[in-house]
Structure 1
Amino acid sequence: MRQQKEESPPFNKPREATPDLASFTNILQRPRRMTQWDIKPAGYENITAEQAKLSGMFPLPGAPRAAPMDPSKLAAFISPSAGTATAAALATSAAKQSKRLYVHNLPSGCTSQEIMEFFNNQLNGLNVVSGNDPCLSAHIATSKEYAALEFKAPEDATLALAMTGISMRDEGGAPDRSGLSIRRPKDYITPTADENAYPPGDEVSSVVKDSPNKLSIVNIPTYIEEEQIRELVETMGKLKAFILVKDTGTDQHRGIAFCEYADNEIIDAVIEGLNDIPLGDGNLKVSRATVGLQQSTGLDGGVGAISMLAGASAAENHEHSRVVCLMNMVTSDELLNDEEYEEIKEDIEEECGKYGPIVETKIPRPAGARVNLGVGKIYIKYQDTESAQKAIKALAGRQFSRRTVVATEFSEEGFDVDAW
């Protein structure tokens, strides 16, 4: 008789002790590496990507906006107190482009330090400049054809702009045909007019704030008194603000004045009537002091912030740039390691080279404690604008390192002088 096989006793796995969940850090409270990627724009914090598209603010990269943005489409998704962004955060006075100028026709052999010192010497001690040395930096392009200047305040840049034609080699500083050619960046945005900028009443303010209505009057003979030039200006209409630029030490004026009229509707007529009229040994030059892209005045709060941005209109006959700026692709930490930096650069150039010949690639890296505004962005300069436009349309929305790529144009002048 076959012996019956004994059954094996059941295996009892020792029961593990229940872990103390209180000792674990909640996943929502775990420290995460700080990064600037995938942060929602101001005004969009409490709405989804699908809802944001209804604003009309996000056409295909490189394509014109078909219609102005309709704030009412967003109003249904956000409350008046949600997603607010202060007007100060979006004010043009806070933008770097409002404090930046490009200077052409430089004397041969001049240095960045020499240019910066020249403008500081010209501006220091004037009654419209607060503080000393308003010119913070000057960077000469590798082509030596121009330099990028940055000032402390937008008003300092506006004053320096009025000095176009000045000669660096002439001790007298008088404008001449062979002098410096000064202009604003192509993407400069004209500041909006503030209805409360001046106190009510008939008193003429001595502070002329930057606005679309500010006029610049230059080439005033130095022997003409302030009362005379003001009387001439007032023949065209009632003034709201007027200032003749003077040296506070000698009380001698510099041949430059700024003004704003009480009636903004007459500005074009004033320019037509006063510009180029003979005065002394030359002709008076009258023009708008702040000419750039226009923006509409937005509402307060999140929707207002979006409206303010949506109101920025592209300049007519816009010239495309050969430089492409790619964002949301790399972090500061990834750029610290030399090997990883080179791998990223090689990978990007290989892909971007599919759309046209690349002249140069710049990927700003962190430099110790010094803040570099270009860190996190990648700049690629193509041989022609057609290649740049193809790259923008092809790369925008692509995934790179699990991030959605944002692509746009960037100023060629800014690229050449690393003015990020």
Structure 2
Amino acid sequence: MPGVNLDKNFAFLEFRSIDEATQAIAFDGINFKGQSLKIRRPHDYQPMPGMTEHQTLSMPDNVPVIAGVVSTVVPDSPNKIFIGGLPNYLNEDQVKELLMSFGQLRAFNLVKDSSTGLSKGYAFCEYVDVTLTDQAIQGLNGMQLGDKKLVVQRAIVGAKNANAIAQVPVQIQVPGLQLQSSSGPATEVLSLMNMVTADELKDDEEYEDIVDDIREECSRYGIVRSVEIPRPVDGVDVPGVSKVFVEFNSVLDCQKAQQNLTGRKFANRVVVTSYFDPERYHRRDF
């Protein structure tokens, strides 16, 4: 039963059960019409006998996920991910798009300076499918973005120490985090992310134009052997959709392309690059 106060922009909701009310707490921080909702218990709320305060406020694991809704509150959990070393020119949508290349996000927060509104260069996130946590960490940690490398690890130290993390340059060991480069050594295959979207790849003519444009651009930096851009197929989970893979004639050509393309804009999107295993490329293990 809702009660709405339009003047002060708040409302009270009464649920059918305690469990349903507790589940609703999980949607604290979701974006609604450009605003971040704050969902709290009433000030005079008294927990039921035998229930702790943590139990009344924590996010239950079985909360249904609303398609397309990403909370801006990332709760502390073993699957909370810290992303450091983000270039300041990347906005929320660009960072989110990068992270969502691995799967749907449950929660995401790009930390900003309260006085300027600019990115502080780090963020936190959690995936709907927690089994993607390690995959995303492995794929992103050490990735080169412009003149920086990402530091992506489980947020072991927790959100309370986020300010301490932010004050440490990403090139220095962060307490509680291991700096490891999973991008590996340079190869002749370059993976480009945030360059195309799945919708752009559906139309045959547009797809061919995209392939030609990318081949032409990459040819400026060396001999291009092949270009692979996995396309979406209805009802099929196609690996690597929205990623671009370019095979060069040599490692040196690939390195030159990587240095020139990282941070560049393609269709108003900032390009993110990493080297890719040639054996996986040839067997189309994207």
TM range (shorter): 0.3 to 0.5
User: Could you say which structure has the higher strand fraction?
Assistant: 2
Larger Rg: 1
TM-score by length of 2: 0.47
TM-score by length of 1: 0.33
